Structure 1
């Protein structure tokens, strides 16, 4: 059988990888030292042409289906990994057929949940991860995607200004529809609740779960958070004709949740005395899109909100409320954001991505100001942060320092 490569933009360097070997036996020279989660399939990270790729060994038909699904989800701007290629027609040196491989781009600065729990984190880490997963699940359901295997293991997490942003990793069991029924959504929620409870029990058994956290109660939170968010995004609201201000209030609430309102369905009753409002099409990213438009910075939603707050403070502090917003944003970028993020020495650049670094420096400045009893200049805050805080952070661009495959496991879940 001839080796077949399916890719939108194939990289000739793919041919240099040892496809004639089972993935679990690939030499260390090809591999990248990144934290691996638990998977029912063999997964390896490889270095290729200056990038890091995730390679998953699965059946050819499943690989082709997942590749196409991930391409569609990327086109729909859903937070998920980017498909790179499918390698099929593999054979060993003795002619034995080998499974195909799905290749995806590694999501830089992302971590599997087990790697996060291997670090020293805030006590409410499990809650914050589930909140992030609830937001992701709402987003996939809004576009008509039934996941079929919702879990922390099938998700990657990136830090987002003290919270986390969740990315879909495994679309192997998913289906894309025009829309989902209530039953399909509830099925995904049931799967999520059961899987998360098991995953948290694994962490508890290994001594990685914070004390006092009940895995079952915590897993039930995804149903509560999902329901709250879904109702806010899609629920009907009825009010008197004279209360039109409530339309703007509803939009602001959605924006605070990180969603834009693209269209509203507004209707009046027969007597014309009351109005019903329902968001028609919503999408996440209100703050990140505004920041991208103003500065060109493409960051997570909570990071964008925090950076925009600092931009607004800069605007007020320089008494430029009446100046063009884009000009002020350009000055803030040149005078505040870029000098601060460039202060980090090269040896520490892989610790945090720039937007998260800037958020942490703002937090550190507040801490220093509170301790000193007066305002601390951001230049002083970044120097103290680089000297005393950043060196102790794990390197999240490349290596976390713990192979999560080696952490104790009670049950197995998919996490590619």
Structure 2
């Protein structure tokens, strides 16, 4: 049998001896540790392989499509965009097929599981999901990436503090350009709105809520509004009154709240007016600040919550000790007295498969809810006790009954023709 053309990145060199020359359906043997994981609809066979304690997704598809997807995913990684990492590609010349290898995104969930565990009828959960999809498409378009098949099914989600972070997981129809035209962006956005509407309506009907299908379609249309609002915030160049620093600060705060770090330029354009230009980076404003102060590396939404917790602790220290406390001392003491001890207490209940940083954020949310009910601050220790007594609840916890029900939804979609971009 002809050996395939094989590309493996350094960290997966131990996968060299796998039977890459065979179709995935013919991969047998006790030495291969396959794992069953919930996967949404897919046009292609996907199997999950465990090696060195890491789970890899192996997808079999036509060689040309796999080559393009591998290239796009590597580009997205280099650009620090939210997407799965491509780590290998095996192309079989004798049958024109290939196996694309990506690293499975830890702590992620497919949208059906996420929404059903958060409460599929919850408008708050749905809004967070739609915000995540809009921001993902903005990120891709800012980087010159035309997705081409934007949908909930082609996305994985992670809880990120009190928000949701979306990751591109399927780039079969994606294209990379120096920049996208307005027509390309509109076409991609139209596809996203249509596919999100279908996904939400399908879920509502499956759950026996057919009356919510129309509302789901209407909600999906709001993705367009959300996308346009963020895009305008990033690219508008308003003319301001000289000296109107409050408006400049307000604009910066709005961008920071979305997670963007911002460089500012203010240029005179006419008598009595200046133009504000902003240049933004990837969405890690709070994450970078938290890492600078504590060396903790987290997701953006998690970092925003942890920074608030750190700042509250610093304020309490100054009040309790009746002296000024430096930011460095506050961060060090917060790590030693609050953050790490809390993680140590909840680690066993949370387990190795869940995100411990997110669990800490959940404890803080639990504390807030308990305090609201009690109409006083119940304190962190009481919140931890209650959280553990309830079994460290989280949508990521295994639920055999729910997973069995969801399995009936994971059917193969009809093969859809590729709809190319418009100029």
- In the TM superposition, residue 256 of structure 1 has moved relative to its aligned partner by 1.2
CA distance in 2, matches of 1:348, 1:328: 27
Partner SS state of residue 117, structure 2: coil
Of 124-133 and 226-235, more deviation after overlay is shown by: 124-133
Residue equivalent to 1:60: 63
The question of whether the paired residues in 1 share the 8 Å contact of 2:239 and 2:274 is answered with yes
- In the TM superposition, residue 16 of structure 1 has moved relative to its aligned partner by 4.4
CA distance in 1, matches of 2:11, 2:395: 36
Aligned pairs for 1:147-296 (under 5 A) are 147-207=147-207, 212=212, 214-261=215-262, 263-271=263-271, 273-296=272-295
Alignment RMSD, CA only? 2.8
The question of whether the paired residues in 2 share the 8 Å contact of 1:135 and 1:229 is answered with yes
* 1:379-416 superposed Cα distances (whole Å, 9 cap, x missing partner): 2211221121416754379x9844845327695489xx
Q: Which of 104, 107, 117 is the matching residue for 2:105? A: 107
Partner SS state of residue 212, structure 2: coil
Residue equivalent to 1:46: 49
CA distance in 1, matches of 2:282, 2:69: 23
Query: Does 2:115 align with 1:117?
Result: yes
The question of whether the paired residues in 2 share the 8 Å contact of 1:35 and 1:400 is answered with no
- In the TM superposition, residue 105 of structure 1 has moved relative to its aligned partner by 0.4
Residue equivalent to 2:420: none
Of 343-352 and 70-79, more deviation after overlay is shown by: 343-352
Residue equivalent to 2:421: none
The question of whether the paired residues in 1 share the 8 Å contact of 2:157 and 2:164 is answered with yes
The question of whether the paired residues in 2 share the 8 Å contact of 1:10 and 1:85 is answered with no
CA distance in 1, matches of 2:410, 2:62: 28
Q: TM-score, normalised by structure 2?
A: 0.88
Query: Does 2:79 align with 1:81?
Result: no
Q: 1:396 to 1:174 in 2, by over 3 A?
A: farther
- In the TM superposition, residue 350 of structure 1 has moved relative to its aligned partner by 3.8
Partner SS state of residue 110, structure 1: coil
Of 74-83 and 326-335, more deviation after overlay is shown by: 326-335
The question of whether the paired residues in 2 share the 8 Å contact of 1:394 and 1:400 is answered with no
Structure 2 spans left out of the alignment, 5+ residues: 417-423
Q: 1:209 to 1:111 in 2, by over 3 A?
A: farther
Q: Which of 33, 38, 53 is the matching residue for 1:35? A: 38
Higher relative contact order (CA 8 A, sep 6+): 1
Residue equivalent to 2:358: 356
CA distance in 2, matches of 1:156, 1:363: 23
Partner SS state of residue 111, structure 1: coil
CA distance in 2, matches of 1:403, 1:130: 24
Of 212-221 and 19-28, more deviation after overlay is shown by: 19-28
The question of whether the paired residues in 2 share the 8 Å contact of 1:38 and 1:412 is answered with no
Q: Give the structure with the higher percent helix.
A: 2
Residue equivalent to 2:382: 380
Q: 1:33 to 1:327 in 2, by over 3 A?
A: farther
The question of whether the paired residues in 2 share the 8 Å contact of 1:202 and 1:410 is answered with no
Q: Which of 368, 376, 401 is the matching residue for 1:366? A: 368
The question of whether the paired residues in 1 share the 8 Å contact of 2:35 and 2:49 is answered with yes
Partner SS state of residue 345, structure 2: coil
Structure 1 spans left out of the alignment, 5+ residues: 92-96
CA distance in 2, matches of 1:50, 1:331: 33
Partner SS state of residue 330, structure 1: helix
Aligned pairs for 1:315-334 (under 5 A) are 315-319=314-318, 322-334=324-336
- In the TM superposition, residue 157 of structure 1 has moved relative to its aligned partner by 0.4
Q: In the comparison of the two structures, how many residue pairs are matched?
A: 407
Q: 1:289 to 1:212 in 2, by over 3 A?
A: same
Q: 1:74 to 1:402 in 2, by over 3 A?
A: farther
CA distance in 2, matches of 1:281, 1:365: 34
Partner SS state of residue 39, structure 1: coil
